[in-house]
Amino acid sequence: MRMISSLLLLWGAVFAFAASTSPDPAEILYERGVKMAEQGRFHAARLAFSTLVNTYPKSPQASEAQYTINATLLFEDGQARLIAGKYGTARLAFQTLIVVYPESPLVKQAADRMRMAERLEQAQSIGPTVRSLRFENTDPVKVDDIRQRLQEREIELDVEKAYDAKMVEEARRVLTELLAERGVANPRVEVSIREIPPRSVDVAFQVK
């Protein structure tokens, strides 16, 4: 009888150990959701997290799952705004994720996207650059003379530099001045600006 009791106790201990070491289904769902979120598979990740929350609402992972669901929604919102060119609001969305959900597995990706949004926002605010700069029908004034006078007057107008309408007007005045100095009566200089998508312009000065 004692042997049977001992065997029953032994088997009970074995089953208890097996139960304690068997995979926790809530933990499995959570880890699966985190992995998919890190891979950018947000819809599938939210499905795993929602299943966890609904099936195991009292598990320790339930609150973490809801936490990460909210973070993925915010990340996707920022990503959509980034793609749409709304860099300011995209940056704000990623920044909010980092501040409100600092333990989220998406924090590193959000920080990278936030820096990208900042760079794009800054580039957007700078304005177009000059792709080409031409001086046409300027005889007897040589182009080198024009460029030298522009440099002397510290007029920063050149290829690959930011387009500045004030600098263009100053350059027009300089060319008019040079033509008058070389004996051209009543010189008239016109400026044509041609926009080149996405963010460049061609600038041409024409003497009429």
User: For the ranges 40-49, 114-123, 146-155, which has the lowest average pLDDT?
Assistant: 114-123
pLDDT at 22: 65
Fold held by 127-207: Ubiquitin-like (UB roll) (3.10.20)
CB 190 within 8 A of CB 160: no
Q: What mean pLDDT comes out for the span 71-99?
A: 93
pLDDT above 90: percentage of residues in the chain: 66
Asked if residue 95 has pLDDT above 60, the reply is yes
Determine the pLDDT at residue 21.
Answer: 53
Please state the domain extents for the chain: 2-124, 127-207
Spatial contact of 55 and 24, defined as CB atoms under 8 Å apart: no
Q: Phi and psi (nearest 5°) for 54?
A: -75, -35
Q: Is 191 exposed, middle or buried (0-12, 13-18, 19+ CB in 10 A)?
A: middle
Q: Where are the alpha helices (DSSP H) in 56-106?
A: 60-83, 87-100
- Tally of residues, the chain: 208
Look at residue 19 and tell me whether its pLDDT is greater than 50: no
pLDDT above 60 for 2: no
